[in-house]
Amino acid sequence: MIEIKNLTKKFDKITAVNNMNVKINDGSVLGLVGSNGSGKSTLLRLLSGVYQPDAGAILVDGKKLFDNPKAKGECYFIPDFPFFYNNSTINSTAFLYRKLYPNWSEEQFNRYCSIFPIKRDARIINMSKGMQRQAALILALSTCPKYLFLDEIFDGLDPVVRHLLKRILIDHVSENNMTVIIASHNLRELEDLCDRVCLMHKGTMLMEREIDALRLGLRKVQVAFSEVPLASNVFEGINVINVWQNGNIFNLTIRGTEEDFMPKLDALNPVYISAMPLTLEEIFISEMGAAGYDVNSIL
């Protein structure tokens, strides 16, 4: 288990992570989503021991991570831009990792080298962005990490490799109880893979929730009237997060279950009501708007 307690990290006057608290259970896949500069990448670097917290602590299986080689040996971090030396190849990097990572598996290494179409003796720095990510994934998975941290890992991967990666990660989580934390702006990919999501904004965690529960808690609703009610607040008593009106038609984002709000909408005598669950991307936009993010000026 990973426990994040009152975690804070600052860079000069900028607070990248601000007093964050969260527990991440073993064998789970957590998605980190948020606005640009929300602190996702900084959090991953803190979790992997690259950065030292300014305040608070990260506990991995009850032990502090920073300056703990044993704990770091069970963690692997692939940053947004994986670093390789100029002459690094998959084979030469594997030679180094065999000595650094106690759980290194030669069987897994040979397996992933056969699955991903990359030459083991080619210079990684000369490869395309997508191929460099595949090289990083081969090496990461071969260390058999207990905790795998991925930053924008889907960026640059073609659809076939993205599907392959998700299948591999799901297999590792189910078979080896591996914990995966993925920061990504590709919410469609996270929706298929993660069981929980953490929404970050300006260094704080707005929420951390199961994706299924998140979907159940928000609905997009379209309501049409023959005549719009004259009340100043038509939807009073309903937890409406966002509303857009086009004549007699209202498009709403409502927090709550249909059992909660449908009777109240029916009481307004509409001619038409339609309610549907939101996608993860729609949830992200709604929650960021509720947090004061100026979504409308961007969209």
Tens digit of each residue's pLDDT (9 = 90 or more) over 232-251: 788 989 998 888 899 999 99
Question: Is 90 exceeded by the pLDDT of residue 279?
Answer: no
Q: Phi and psi dihedrals of 244, rounded to 5?
A: -135, 125
Nearest to 32 by CA among 77, 82, 83, 67: 77
The mean pLDDT value for 152-180 works out to 91
Q: Which of 290, 286, 269 is nearest to 277 (CA)?
A: 286
pLDDT tens, position by position, 123-152: 999 999 999 999 999 999 999 999 999 999
Whose CA is closest to 93, among 101, 189, 247? 101
188 compared with 58, residue with greater pLDDT: 58
Distance CA 114, CA 111 (A): 5
Q: Residue 95 has which token pair?
A: 């030679």
Tokens of 26: 């073993």
User: Strand 179-183 relative to strand 29-34: parallel, antiparallel, unpaired?
Assistant: parallel
pLDDT at 35 (0 to 100)? 80
Cβ-based burial of 136 (10 A; exposed 0-12, middle 13-18, buried ≥19): buried
Comparing 240 with 293, which gets the higher pLDDT? 240
| Residue 22: other Cβ atoms inside 10 A | 15
What pLDDT is recorded for position 291? 57
Mean pLDDT, rounded, for 23-44: 90
- In this prediction, residue 79 has a pLDDT band, given cuts at 50, 70 and 90, of very high
Give mean pLDDT, residues 6-26. 92
> Domains of the chain, with CATH numbers?
2-202 (3.40.50.300), 217-298 (3.30.70)
User: Which pLDDT score, from 0 to 100, does residue 299 have?
Assistant: 34
Task: Provide mean pLDDT across the span 16-34.
Answer: 91
Q: What does the mean pLDDT of the chain come to?
A: 87
The reported pLDDT for the residue numbered 293 is 54
In whole angstroms, give the CA distance from residue 25 to residue 178.
10
Phi, psi of 180 (to 5 degrees): -120, 130
What pLDDT does 289 receive?
63
Q: What is the chain's length?
A: 299
CB half-sphere exposure, 137, CA atoms < 13 A: 31
For 267, the 3-state DSSP assignment is: coil
